[in-house]
Amino acid sequence: MKKLLFTLCIFCVVNSLVIPQWIIKNTTSPGWSNAYGISALDDKIAIIHVTRKTSTGYDLLLTEDGGDTWKGIRSPYSDSLKYFWAPGISMKDRNHIWLATSDGEIFATNDRGKSWQLQFYDTTKTKSFSYLKFFDLNNGIAMGDCLSESTPAIFLRTTNGGITWQSMNTSYLIGYLSGSCGRFIDFVNENVGYFFAYKRLPNAASPQKMYKTTNGGKSWSLTNYPTFVNVFKFYNENYGISFAGNNYLITTDGGNSWKNFPSSFDLFCGDFEILKNNPNQIWAMTWTKLNISSDSCKTWNGNINLVRPRDLCFVDNNIGWILCDMGIVLRTNNNGQYPTDLKNSETEINQDFCLEQNYPNPFNPETTISWQLPIDDHVTLKIYDSLGKEIYVLVDEDQKAGLHRINFNINALKNISTTKNQTRISMSSGIYYYKLQTGNYSETKKMVFLK
């Protein structure tokens, strides 16, 4: 009896010393520079979408051992060297994966990427997808931008695993598109979803409009959301959280009313997760920090350094994944309430070209653009409108290796050189692009200006 009690005591002590944590997976091989999205099944299996470091590398990587090793998955394109961007990625078991691309395609595989099937491609409906989510092996939703000011944003729905896709929306959201892939759309089930939309150029208007559907995207009604969005998510049909600059907003009645609170974040929130069975607990990350709240955003703990995190997902209340740039993945299987600080390793692994997403985004009147140079080089940074016309030159000079940033202020454009002259040119609300070019590196990102 004494031996049993002693064993139980030891068991309790050991259990009390099990500290929740994030495990760092520095995947130097095959590695990547920029990361886009992650979809996970459990603490072992996950797929990530990244930018390959070499032309013969992979844009899709799969792990089946918790991130210790990563296997390249062949491209869905016949030209395996073609670079692509898939804003939507969804994995529902170890074989079935779906991709929605920025070129307006939906691909699917049922053999873990050995072969791909093109499920949807119709340029008369959309030329760019911004969102894809499967709820199970049969039911899924995809969102594509409108083609023009007179055509609707499209919402596709499938009930047979993507074999067929039904276009739901034909008369709502005319001329609307998504400003930030995946961060301005959230469906809680096959029927109920929310969409923060704005008008397509050239007749762009300040968006500040969040819409709701209760029939899978067939019809939409305007909510009472009052401001802009960095990222929002809903826990269920009624309870949702939105981060907007240095504030966060909460609704408990499906968007009819919102309460606005100041946020303690130093930078703008880039992504967050509400835990599956605990809506009070929220993990949120900026581009440099990871934080946790256990009281619905009222207070935050952590403030842990990360190396450019891009996507965060929780499979359940315990298993979570974080995808970062520069070949870094973090994983927890016990709701890592005490993340490992990556500050000390940042200088060792951050040795590649990289263009950061501007902050804040959307912005008005100013935003900051940052980039990383591994070597001394000549750098140009230019702004383009949605039609690809070059309108501003922000940087055109030789720069030293290291981290650089510039503040882009709409009110100070008269001090920024243009390709034609030094006169001030007004910018209307809408999508713009900024492109970083060096001797051997080029990257373009999208930003949104709101008046």
The model's pTM: 0.75
The answer on 369 and 252 residing in a single domain is no
Domain-terminating residue out of 317, 349, 381: 349
The answer on 288 and 328 residing in a single domain is yes
The residue to which tokens 């009222």 are assigned: 298
Question: What does the block give as tokens for 330?
Answer: 């973090």
Closest CA to 266 of 296, 248, 245: 245
The answer on 362 and 392 residing in a single domain is yes
Q: What is the CATH number of the domain that holds 291?
A: 2.130.10.10
Residue 201 lies in a domain: yes
The answer on 435 and 326 residing in a single domain is no
How many domains does one find in the chain? 2
The answer on 267 and 368 residing in a single domain is no
What residues make up the domain containing 433? 354-449
Domain-terminating residue out of 331, 349, 367: 349
The answer on 406 and 304 residing in a single domain is no
> How do the residues of the chain divide into helix, strand and coil, expressed in percent and rounded to 5?
5, 40, 55
Q: Cα–Cα distance between 308 and 311 in angstroms, integer?
A: 10
Could you give the angle at the alpha carbon of 211 between the alpha carbons of 207 and 212, nearest 5°?
165
Q: How many CB atoms lie within 10 A of CB 137?
A: 14
- Inter-residue contact 410 to 364 (CB < 8 Å): yes
- The confidence score (pLDDT) of residue 348 equals 37
Residue 9 lies in a domain: no
Residue 211 lies in a domain: yes
Residue 224 lies in a domain: yes
The answer on 322 and 371 residing in a single domain is no
Residue 332 lies in a domain: yes
The answer on 295 and 429 residing in a single domain is no
Question: What does the block give as tokens for 51?
Answer: 């930018």
Residue 10 lies in a domain: no
Q: Cα–Cα distance between 367 and 390 in angstroms, integer?
A: 18
Residue 99 lies in a domain: yes
Closest CA to 325 of 371, 361, 283: 371
CA diameter of the chain: 89
Q: Cα–Cα distance between 278 and 302 in angstroms, integer?
A: 18
The answer on 335 and 376 residing in a single domain is no
- The confidence score (pLDDT) of residue 11 equals 34
- Inter-residue contact 368 to 408 (CB < 8 Å): yes
Q: What is the CATH number of the domain that holds 409?
A: 2.60.40.1930
C-alpha distances in angstroms, 447 versus 22, 121, 208, 366? 31, 26, 16, 11
**Averaged pLDDT in 10-residue chunks for the chain of 451 residues:** 41 35 68 81 92 73 90 83 82 94 94 94 93 96 91 95 95 84 89 87 60 96 91 95 89 95 74 90 86 86 77 91 86 69 39 73 80 87 87 91 82 53 63 88 83 67
Domain-terminating residue out of 304, 322, 349: 349
- The confidence score (pLDDT) of residue 126 equals 93
The answer on 344 and 243 residing in a single domain is yes
- Inter-residue contact 148 to 200 (CB < 8 Å): yes
